Structure 1
Amino acid sequence: MSAVTGQGHVFWEDLAVGDALRGPGVTVTDSHLVQWAGLTGDWVSLHLDENHAREAGFAGRIAHGPLSMSLSLGLLTQTGIFGNVQAWLGLDEVRATAPVLIGDTVHPEAEVAAARSTSKPDRGIWTLAYRTVNQRGETVMTFSSSFMVRRRPEGGER
Structure 2
Amino acid sequence: MSHEQPARSANPSARSLPEPHYWESLALGDCLVTTGLTITEAHLLTWAGLTGDVVSFHLDAEYAASTQFGHRVAHGPLTLSTSLGLVTQTGYFGNVVAWLGLDSVRAKKPVFIGDTIRVRATIREARETSNPAHGVWVIDYVTSNQHGDVVMTFTSSFLVRRA
TM, length-normalised to structure 2? 0.89
User: Aligned-residue CA RMSD in angstroms?
Assistant: 1.4
1:113 to 124, 127, 132: 124
The equivalent residue for 2:3 is none
Distance in 1 (CA, whole Å) between partners of 2:158 and 2:23 is 10
The equivalent residue for 1:2 is 8
Decide whether the 8 Å contact of 1:5 with 1:80 is kept in 2. Answer: no
Q: How many residues align?
A: 151
Distance in 1 (CA, whole Å) between partners of 2:100 and 2:17 is 24
1:16 to 21, 27, 37: 27
Deviation, structure 1 residue 59: 2.9
The equivalent residue for 1:129 is 140
Asked if residue 94 in structure 1 is aligned to residue 105 in structure 2, the reply is yes
Structure 1 runs not aligned, ≥5 long? 153-158
The equivalent residue for 2:13 is none
Structure 2 runs not aligned, ≥5 long? 1-6, 10-15
Distance in 2 (CA, whole Å) between partners of 1:10 and 1:139 is 28
Superposed, 1:4-83 pairs within 5 Å as: 5-6=17-18, 9-83=20-94
Deviation, structure 1 residue 5: 3.5
Amino acid at match of 1:66: P
2:156 to 123, 140, 145: 145
Amino acid at match of 1:74: G
Deviation, structure 1 residue 43: 0.4
TM, length-normalised to structure 1? 0.91
> What SS class does the counterpart of residue 42 from structure 1 fall into?
coil
